Structure formats: structure tokens, C-alpha cells
Amino acid sequence: MQWEVVIGLEVHAQLLTRSKIFSGASTRFGAEPNTQACPVDLGLPGTLPVLNRQAVEHAIRFGLAIGAQVAPVSIFARKNYFYPDLPKGYQISQYEQPVVLGGTLDIAVPAEKAGDPPRIRTINLTRAHLEEDAGKSLHEDFAGMSGIDLNRAGTPLLEIVSEPELRSAAEAVAYARALHGLVTWLGICDGNMQEGSFRVDANVSVRPLGQKEFGTRAEIKNLNSFRFLERAIQFEVRRQIELIEDGGRVVQETRLYDPDADETRSMRTKEDADDYRYFPEPDLPPLVIDPAQIEAVRNDMPELPSTKRARYQDELGLPQADALTLTSSLASAQFFEAALAALPDAAAQAKTLANWMMGELAAQLNRDGLDIADSKVSAPQLAGLVIRIADGTLSGKLAREVFHTLWAEGPVQGGPEVVDALIDRQGLRQISGDDVLGPIIDQVLANNAKSVDEYRAGKEKAFNALVGQVMKLSKGKANPQQVNELLKKKLG
């Protein structure tokens, strides 16, 4: 039986505000436990919540960035449940009338075959709503007891819900990455996954390929890295398929991923909305957003990734997949534009630059576990490399050598000229031109009569052997394209 995987993600993004969503307590991370929770966060009698304006503006910003509808009126609701880290006994959230409705996100799903361009999909979002975070239960260091830290209680969250349109773990990760790139780009979330600023719940189900109805889903809670997200889904998909094929039935439940065992485990059977006894929050008026406020937020927005993308495609002629990859984070787009600014002919050289960023640079950053902002080859230096590739000074092979030498020595001060200095110092200039290459080729032909005869007898492979000899004699510096042409000419 062929199975289709169905995934919808609920992402909790902590909004970057100085104070909490309904109180003046600080949202700073890492303070001593219970030093940043005030009576409002604890829901003590007589306190009243007051909505944080900044949190609302962040939600509007997000809504505009994904082309969603920003609701003119939205309603806060009480979601009732009992848990030790929830002192009020309810969470203030939004339910039937959220602040953001709809919207889309373009994602780039890496190709399964290395070197192929990523696949692009547009994913629909259901909604995004404002809510408060809960506190944290601490199970360490208490001699068998648990402690509660309420510093996080009341931290503003934007819960962002996707339609069940994702069809693989890879697509789910691509979506989560795109969303992470967007909220950090917009400056509404710091994106720090270790600190829990960006947490993902994955709803996963499977169905026989071709079946219309969705299967029963399990929800895997609180995944705080892209790797865990991917592995948790992969495990869960295998588990559900095996269960069904063995004659079992998936039950709707909440599960937790254990990275050490690399498996998901049942936590509790899933509550239905009814279990939460949602009702409108009596202490808060409806959230009214007028067009003027939306315009004010719009005017204050940074250039959006989608706008930059369109510009890269229209003005620089980059393929959509390249434009999407380069704008996957603000730091990446800034690096690209800084390098572009150092190129004499940006339009003609943009594609080479893009290839280097998505190829060699991305691979090296990945190997070293570095963010692009900490690249050991600076943007202007990468531009210097592209300039010397474009004017024929460097072959692809020599350029890689220059790049890796720079990387090993880096980060060094200076712009494109650093590349030239290195080329001179190490004699990495490509050897071009008939007058220099001619004698080298003549020598190779004289020394390899056997290969020459074989080639003339129709053995194509012999030609490559001769090219190899020329490259060897030139210490890898001969211009490969010219060697090919000249060799063909000389062999007649």
C-alpha cells in the first residue's frame, strides 16, 4: 500500500516586546526564577490585564507580510485547563476570532538529488492569534520535587497555524525554516530555538494514497530544533504506517519526541476544543484595529523578503529558487546585497555570486556550524572571487582553492583586493592564451604518442587523458576550456 503523509504545523513564536502581553513585568530571558512575574501574570484577585500595543503591532506586521487579512475586530478568549505552570487555571488566547486570517508562505524544499534546484511550494496558513505563554515546570535540582518558574507566564506569543498541506518531513522543515526566516526578518521574534522563542507542534497523519479523507492525527508537541522536527515526523510516520498495516488504529493524541531514543511517546489523549470550555475573556474588550493603525505598521515595515525576491528575479534575472534561497533570512539577503554592491557588473555576475553563496559558502558554513553573519570570507571578498572568475583569472578549481585558503585564514580585514593579493602571493593565476598554453600542449602531445594514436583511432577517453596531462603539467592552472579547444585544434 502507498501512503500519503499529511502534516499541519502550529508554531509558537515569542514576540519581541519588553514587557508581557497583559502586564508590565519584564520578558527578559534567563533571570532568577520567579523574579519577573507580577500579580497580573499570576491572576491574583483584583488584577486586570492590559493588552500590550507592541504585541498587536507585531501581529499586524506578520499578517501584512504573509498577505493575510488583519481582522478589524478580534476577541480574546479564556482557554481553561489545569496545569501547575498555569496559576490562573486558564490561558488568555484567541479562539473563534483571531487577529490574523489566511495568508501564504513560499517554501523551498531541498531536492532529493544533490545539485538539483529546490522545489518551490506555496503553503496556505489558516490563522495566527495572540496568546500568553505559560510558566515552566522545573524537574531538576529539587531532590525529587518539581519547581515552578513563572517568569515566562504572560510572555506574548503569536501562534501561527498552517493548513494541513505539508506532505513530508522535508516540507515541514522547509516551512518551519521559512517561517523562522520571516519572523526574525520582521524583527517580531528573536528566533532563538534553544531558549524556546520559536517552538513547533507538528500534527501528523497518514492516509492511503488517493483517499480524500484525512487520517487520524497525532500532535507532537514542543519541537525546538529543525532536526528534531524532521526526525520526530519521520518516526511518527513510520509508527502510524506500521500500526495501521498491523491492523491497529491511530488514536488522536498528544505525543512528545525524545531525541535520545529518537522516538515519539504518548503524553495524553488529545483534548477536543470542548474540553477547554472556551469563553470570551470578560476582562478585555474586543481588539479593534483600524485601517490607520495598519497603514502605520505598513509604513514602518522593512523591505519584505517577497519584494526582494521579485527584485532579484526581475532585475538580476535569478531563477525563483535562487531568489527564495538567498532571501531565506535577512542576514543572507544582506550578505548577497553587500557582495552585489562590490561587483562592477551586478546584473551579469549575480548568478555566479548566487551559485557561490548557495554552493561552496553554504556548504562551508554548514560544516563549521556557522551563521552567514559569521562567515570567514566576507561579502566583498566573495565578490572579489566572482570578479576574478568572470575575467578568467581563476578557473572554478582555482577559485575553490582561493576560497578555502581565505576561509582557513579568515576572517581577514579588507575587500575584494584581498583575493588579488592571495592570487599573487600563491601564484594561483589561471594560465590562458594560445602563446602560453601552446607550448605546454605541444610538450604533452610529444610525450604521449600512445594517447594521441588512440584518440585518432576513435577512443574518446584518450582525449581526457591528454587534458589531464596538460592540467598536471600546468599544476592545475591551465584554463580548462581553452585547453580543450586548443587540443582539439592541434589533434586536427
Q: How far apart are the C-alpha atoms of 119 and 38, rounded to whole Å?
A: 48
Least spacing, CB of residue 168 vs ligand ADP, in Å: 12
Give the footprint of ligand ADP on residues 196-235 (CB under 6 A): 203-205, 214-215, 217
434-447 vs 449-456: helix crossing angle, rounded to 10? 90
Stretch that binds ligand ADP, among 1-9, 290-298, 348-356, 475-483 (CB under 6 A): 1-9
For residue 411, cis peptide bond before it (omega within 30 degrees of 0):
yes
154: left (phi over 0), alpha (psi -120 to 50) or beta: left
Please tell me whether residue 107 binds ligand ADP under the rule CB under 6 A.
Answer: no
Closest CA to 14 of 134, 162, 125, 107: 134
Q: How far apart are the C-alpha atoms of 147 and 141, rounded to whole Å?
A: 9
Please tell me whether residue 5 binds ligand ADP under the rule CB under 6 A.
Answer: no
Integer-rounded Cα radius of gyration of the chain:
29
Closest CB to ligand ADP among residues 214, 463: 214
Within 8 A by CB and 6+ apart from 132, the residues are: 20, 21, 22, 91, 92, 93, 153, 154, 155, 156, 157
- x/- map, 389-418, ligand ADP, by CB under 6 A: ------------------------------
Closest CB to ligand ADP among residues 237, 402: 237
Residue nearest to ligand ADP (CB): 8
Please tell me whether residue 10 binds ligand ADP under the rule CB under 6 A.
Answer: yes
Q: Is 358 helix (H, G, I), strand (E, B) or coil?
A: helix
Beta bridge partners of 212: none
Closest CB to ligand ADP among residues 223, 423: 223
Stretch that binds ligand ADP, among 61-69, 160-168, 307-315, 398-406 (CB under 6 A): 160-168
Please tell me whether residue 163 binds ligand ADP under the rule CB under 6 A.
Answer: yes
Closest CB to ligand ADP among residues 62, 403: 62
Closest CB to ligand ADP among residues 7, 64: 7
CA–CA–CA angle 60, 9, 50 (5° rounding): 35
Please tell me whether residue 309 binds ligand ADP under the rule CB under 6 A.
Answer: no
Least spacing, CB of residue 125 vs ligand ADP, in Å: 9
Please tell me whether residue 4 binds ligand ADP under the rule CB under 6 A.
Answer: no
Least spacing, CB of residue 22 vs ligand ADP, in Å: 22
Q: Give the interface size with ligand ADP as a residue count (CB under 6 A).
A: 16
Q: How far apart are the C-alpha atoms of 105 and 103, rounded to whole Å?
A: 7
Stretch that binds ligand ADP, among 29-37, 132-140, 162-170, 462-470 (CB under 6 A): 162-170
Neighbours of 211 (CB within 10 A): 11
Please tell me whether residue 94 binds ligand ADP under the rule CB under 6 A.
Answer: no
- Specify the pairing of strand 218-223 against strand 253-258: parallel
Please tell me whether residue 162 binds ligand ADP under the rule CB under 6 A.
Answer: yes
Closest CB to ligand ADP among residues 273, 370: 273
- x/- map, 240-279, ligand ADP, by CB under 6 A: ---------------------------------x------
Question: Which cell numbers in the block locate residue 101?
Answer: 486570517
Least spacing, CB of residue 74 vs ligand ADP, in Å: 16
Please tell me whether residue 9 binds ligand ADP under the rule CB under 6 A.
Answer: yes
User: Which member of 6, 179, 330, 471 binds ligand ADP (CB under 6 A)?
Assistant: 6
Specify the length of the chain in residues.
492
Closest CA to 155 of 130, 137, 173: 130
Q: 184-200 burial string, b = 16+ CB within 10 Å, else e?
A: bbbebbbbebeebbbbb
Question: Which cell numbers in the block locate residue 255?
Answer: 505525543
Contact set with ligand ADP (CB under 6 A): 6-10, 161-164, 203-205, 214-215, 217, 273
